[in-house]
Amino acid sequence: MLVSMWMTRTLVTVTPATSIADAALTMSRAHVRRLLVTEPSARGELLRGIVSLHDLARAFPPDVNPLSLTATDRAGTAAGRTVDAVMTTAVRSVAPETPLEEAARRLLEHKIGAVPVVRDGIVTGIITESDIFKAFLEVTGAAVPGVRVTFDIAADEDPLAVVVEIAQRHHMRVVSVLSMSAEGKRLAVVRVTGPGAERFVDDILKSGHRVVSVLHTTPRT
């Protein structure tokens, strides 16, 4: 999966010359916690920085919530300041073709909630924690009713080979197969759908694997 498949394309932006009070108002109306700071060009919107709710909060008096209805009236000295005075200019970004897991790794490593998606200096989108959560739910098949089985596998074992044969035997469809390491052990997390769930789990056990958990899943309505 690539960033371009999951990024948010409808952007909420301000310019460096936008007043801090107006930026706060834009943030409040759009229900977002960060704004991309851009300038128009013949090629598109050039990225100049990013301004977060934390940046705006530091610019306002300490007793004023920048997203409140009265923030503009109580802005004080902040009313005359512009976004370029508080924005972050050393912005970490990714390209549209960046693998989604690489974007997730950068968010985690740098403890940030989003990164702009940029090509040749032009903003094409933004990838947020929420976008990555949506992708995770999709790739794990969380919306598909069925059974999720977690079981031990050997270090050199292919969980897909184990699961496909058993699923075909019981006329079940494999929704997702993931593997991970936890507490020094390698685990497979498999989601299948179809009428043979109990027989599927029984055959996983008979194949010599220790079943850690079995969860019957129903998508939320």
Mean pLDDT by 10 residues, the chain (221 residues): 94 93 88 93 93 85 61 58 91 95 94 94 94 92 89 91 90 92 89 89 92 82 52
- Of 82, 114, 136, which residue sits at a domain end? 136
Number of H helices and E strands in the chain, helices first, is: 7, 9
Please list the residues that pair with 188 across neighbouring strands. Answer: 151, 179
d(CA 21, CA 61): 12
CATH number for the domain including 81? Answer: 3.10.580.10
pLDDT at position 221, please?
Answer: 52
Strand partners, 221: none
Query: Terminus-to-terminus CA distance in the chain, angstroms?
Result: 26
Residue 200 CB-half CA count within 13 A: 29
Contact between 62 and 78 under an 8 Å Cβ cutoff? The reply is no
Asked if 171 and 184 sit in the same domain, the reply is: yes
Give the pLDDT of residue 206.
92
- Residue 162 structural domain: 140-217
Domain shared by 178 and 73, yes or no: no
pTM value is 0.77
Residues 83 and 167 in one domain: no
Q: Are 15 and 122 contained in the same domain?
A: yes
Number of domains in the chain: 2
> What integer pLDDT is reported at residue 196 of this predicted model?
82
